[in-house]
């Protein structure tokens, strides 16, 4: 496989439609909607060091699997890979 084709395939797996939905109850973190599937946010960690900020959330999806999602713009956009 050539380099550019491999890079394009990698990009297709990284791009997901992910949006944040506010919580229904006090004390919860809300939901991430990943490709039209609501996933409950179990934990939310914010790191801010030397002017670089990253949000890391752990979500539980309907299939019982947990995933980590990352944001480096204050939760405006999300991705499933750290970089």
Please report the pLDDT score of residue 15 as a whole number: 53
Q: In what order do the strands lie in the sheet with 66-71?
A: 18-21, 31-34, 37-49, 52-60, 66-71
83, part of any domain = no
pLDDT in tens, the chain (83 residues): 555 555 455 544 455 789 999 999 999 999 999 988 999 999 999 988 887 889 999 999 999 999 999 998 888 889 998 77
Residue 82 lies in a domain: no
Domain that holds residue 35: 3-71
Whether 78 is in a domain gets the answer no
pLDDT at 39: 95
Specify if 79 maps to a domain.
no
**pLDDT at residue 3, as a whole number:** 56
- Is position 77 within any domain? no
Domain-embedded: residue 47: yes
Distance from C-alpha of 30 to C-alpha of 74, rounded to nearest angstrom: 15
CA–CA dist 28, 36 (Å, integer): 20
Total domain count, the chain: 1
Residue 33 is predicted with a pLDDT of: 93
Domain assignment of residue 76, yes or no: no
**What's the pLDDT score for residue 74?**
85
Q: CATH number of the domain that 56 lies in?
A: 2.30.30
């Amino acid at each position: 496989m050539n380099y550019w084709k491999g890079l394009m395939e990698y990009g297709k797996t990284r791009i997901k439609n992910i949006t944040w939905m506010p919580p229904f109850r006090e004390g919860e973190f809300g939901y991430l909607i990943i490709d039209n599937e609501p996933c409950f946010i179990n934990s939310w960690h914010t790191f801010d060091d030397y002017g670089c900020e990253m949000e890391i959330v752990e979500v539980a999806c309907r299939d019982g699997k947990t995933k980590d999602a990352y944001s480096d713009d204050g939760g405006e956009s999300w991705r499933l890979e750290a970089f």
